[in-house]
Structures are given as structure tokens and as C-alpha cells.
Amino acid sequence: MAPTLNIIGAGKVGRVLGRLFAASGAFNVQDVLTRSMDSAAEAVHFMGAGHAVDAIGQMGAADAWMLAVGDDQIEAACAQLAGVPGLAGAVVFHCSGAKASDVLATAAQGGALTASLHPVRSFADPAQVAQHFGGTFCGIEGDARALALLGDALAVIGARAVPIDAAAKTVYHAASVFASNYLVTVLDAALRCYRAAGISDEVARQLAAPLAAESMANMFRLGPEAALTGPIARGDVDTVARQQAALDGWDEGSGALYRALALATTGLARRRP
């Protein structure tokens, strides 16, 4: 029999994991609690499993509990969970990339085995992510017995568990922000610069796409030092200075972003052979 799983909080990450765990047989999804019965019912429909409830007291005993709530809600949700009978020996894990499993201390004090499980990917389109989740890396840390259960479940859904240092959890999560969120911010700056030159939105995206795609491919194929090109890599300080002055005069925020990135890129260029 598959271990049982209760879910507290079912946003994009929780819904995807719940759907994959249930469909694969990694877990038998039981009770689902969210902010409202409507959202719980929607989550159950998306996952194709589970039973929507509107209070933690309505949730039955389970082998594992997934807290897929916002980072700032984890400790409060755990405190509520700590009062549930039969928690001793159960696995309690959250899905935050920014916080370690030590925020589940109240559950651990009640005898639960605590851990964190963080899928390293964007969840902008949950249905698409659920369909193509195989190979996804998941950062895990916590009690060894909890990780044994979660590692087995991740293997069943085709994910790849990566043990991480709990003490560096926030820095680990910052890596994902750099690799995903801030790339979007930088590309948005590029598109706005193109538009300032009179280029339409559609053409601006067409101009930026091959540059971004080729740079990303080179970075992962060759490494950052070898992939770096452009005026800083060439030592063309006059071009950098002109661009900085132009951006400062056009848009203060873009100028500040360029200045910060130029400083970081200079450091990268110095690492080149």
C-alpha cells in the first residue's frame, strides 16, 4: 500500500506535486486543506485525488503531511498541525526553497520527522509542469528517515533529489532567483531599450530571443567565463561608459541595473583565462 499524504495549502506547487504523487501511486492523497473550500475543491479536481476539507480538525491521520503554503505561513500552519493526534512518526515537509526544515520545529517536538522538498523549476503553468516534470531536480534536506520516504516518492515521479546544506538554504534559493526571476528582469530591460529605439514589441522579442538563447546555451556548454562576450569582455571601456551615460539619461532604473551588472560582469571577465 502506498503511504498516505495530507496536503495543507495547494497553490501551484502543491497542486502539481499532489497530482504527480497521486497519479504515480507514490502517495495515496487523502485530505486537502486550503484557504477556502472552493480552492480546496479546485485543487482536488486538478490533482484528480483527495478530499477537500475546511478545517485541520477534519483531516485524518496520515503517513506524511505536505505544507505547500506560502513561506510566511509555514510556521503558523505547522503550529496548528502540531496539535493533531497521531503526528508522532509521521513525515512533515514543506516546499519552500528559501526556508529550511527547522521552521517545522513544533512538529518535530511532537515526534514528527521533518524535511523540506523544493522543486527547482518555474510553476507559471501548473498543467504544463505536471505533464513534463520528469527529470526535475528537487532540493531536499531534513531528517534522514523523512528523506528516505521523500526520495522514494520523487524517484517514482521521475524527479531527481539533490541533498543540500540546510544552513545555506537561503543562499541556495537565491541561486534559483538569479537563474530564473532575474533573467526575466534583465530581458525586460533589454526589450524596453529596444522599444526606446523605436522597435515594436514583437520585433524586440525577435531580436532578443536568439541572443538570449545562444548565450544561455554557450553558458551551460562552455561555462560562464568562456561564454561571456561583449564590450566588457573585450575591454571596450569607452562603449560601456557611453551606454552607462545614455541609460542614466534615459531611465534611472535601467541605468542603475546596468551599473550593477557591469560591475559584476567586470569581475567575471577578470576570471577569464
The grid coordinates of residue 256 equal: 542603475
pLDDT tens for the 273 residues of the chain, in order = 899 999 999 899 999 999 999 999 999 999 999 999 999 999 999 999 999 999 999 999 999 999 999 999 999 999 999 989 889 999 999 999 999 999 999 999 999 999 999 999 989 999 999 999 999 999 999 999 999 999 999 999 999 999 999 999 999 999 989 999 999 999 999 999 999 999 999 999 999 999 999 999 999 999 999 999 999 999 999 999 999 999 999 999 999 999 999 999 999 999 998
Q: Torsion-angle region of residue 211: left (phi > 0), alpha (psi -120 to 50) or beta? A: alpha
- The confidence score (pLDDT) of residue 273 equals 84
CATH class entry, domain 4-164: alpha beta
The grid coordinates of residue 266 equal: 567586470
- State the DSSP code for 24: H
- The confidence score (pLDDT) of residue 149 equals 98
The Cα angle at residue 167 between residues 96 and 69, in degrees rounded to 5: 15
Domain ranges of the chain: 4-164, 172-270
| Phi and psi torsions of 7, nearest 5° | -125, 125
Task: Classify domain 172-270 at the CATH superfamily level.
Answer: ProC-like, C-terminal domain (1.10.1040.20)
Helix, strand, coil percentages, rounded to 5, for the chain? 60, 15, 25
Under 8 Å between Cβ of 74 and 67:
yes
CA 161, CA 168: separation in Å to the nearest integer? 17
- pTM of the complete model: 0.83
- The confidence score (pLDDT) of residue 83 equals 86
User: Which is nearest to 107 in space by CA: 125, 127, 84?
Assistant: 84
- The confidence score (pLDDT) of residue 242 equals 97
Under 8 Å between Cβ of 24 and 157:
yes
CA 184, CA 170: separation in Å to the nearest integer? 20
CA 134, CA 212: separation in Å to the nearest integer? 25
